[in-house]
Copies of this chain bind each other. A is one copy, B any other.
Amino acid sequence: MARGLNRVTLVGTLTQDPELRYTAGGLAVMELNLAGTEFITDEQGQTREVPWYHRAKLLGKSAEFWGDNLKAGMALFVDGRLEYRTWEQEGQKKSSLEIRAERIEVLALEGKRGTVTVTDARGQERLRGGLNLVMLVGNLTRDPEVRYTPQGTAVARLGLAVNERYTSRQGAEQERTHYIEAQAWRELAEYAGELRKGEGAFFMGRLVNDSWVAQDGTKRYVTRVELVRLERLARGTVQSGGDGS
């Protein structure tokens, strides 16, 4: 397995006042609901402003540090990682992909030109020209499948297993794996189609939430990475990465 790299960086505004709460085990938890837009230029040179909404979790001392000083409308820099969680619900295995914030900074918006935030349909402030950047290194969980839209545009779905090694509070070396879904379009999708299950890859893109109605009529949600860059790791180096010294 490639040594995992798991990094998410967001700049956006808080859509709600975050609340500090505690788990039954006494862990401080704060949920940050962030909104921003990105300016995306397509192949035809046309720029669209695409909104995003993401929820990040701040835990422990960091959450307590910020306490109740964070308010709706504030602009935040959030740096953290993607966290894959699984649980059982009515006998069914469920999973989710969350953003775990590792550091945050409050940004000052005074002095910025133009329209800095827009108010959305729910009355929440959304930061224009936010930042939504994901970088991952891991291994493909399956052969990527390439399909074509009725207009002939190639789209590929990819799964990445990102390995995480950490030392537990008891000092034991632990390992866990985060499973992350991604999507690529056009030329990048065609390139993805040449990759194979097990190969190491570097993903760079933005985090998007997608929803659809499943065959049983229930609404389903998925958080995935919309790729802007995809690199394949050379075979033979995949086992490694080399530890920082």
Q: Footprint of B on A, CB under 8 Å?
A: 2-3, 5, 9, 11, 41, 45, 59-63, 65-66, 74-75, 77, 79, 102-108, 110-113, 131, 135, 137, 187, 190-191, 194-195, 200, 202, 204, 229, 231-235, 237, 240-245
Contact B242 A65 (CB under 8 A): yes
Residue numbers in B under 8 Å from A79 (CB-CB): 5
A96 to B226, CA, bound (A): 37
Contact A106 B233 (CB under 8 A): yes
* With contact pairs A3-B103, A233-B105 given, residues A135 and B242 touching in the complex (Cβ less than 8 Å): no
A187 to B112, CA, bound (A): 9
A243 to B219, CA, bound (A): 38
Known: A66-B242, A110-B232, A113-B190. 13 other contacts (CB 8 A): A3-B103, A41-B41, A60-B245, A61-B245, A75-B231, A77-B231, A103-B241, A103-B242, A105-B237, A107-B232, A107-B233, A107-B234, A110-B194
A103 to chain B, nearest CB (A): 6
Closest-by-CB residue of B relative to A41 is B41
Contact A202 B105 (CB under 8 A): yes
* With contact pairs A106-B237, A234-B107, A243-B61 given, residues A204 and B41 touching in the complex (Cβ less than 8 Å): no
Residue numbers in B under 8 Å from A102 (CB-CB): 244
* With contact pairs A5-B79, A108-B233, A202-B77 given, residues A113 and B245 touching in the complex (Cβ less than 8 Å): no
Closest-by-CB residue of B relative to A65 is B242
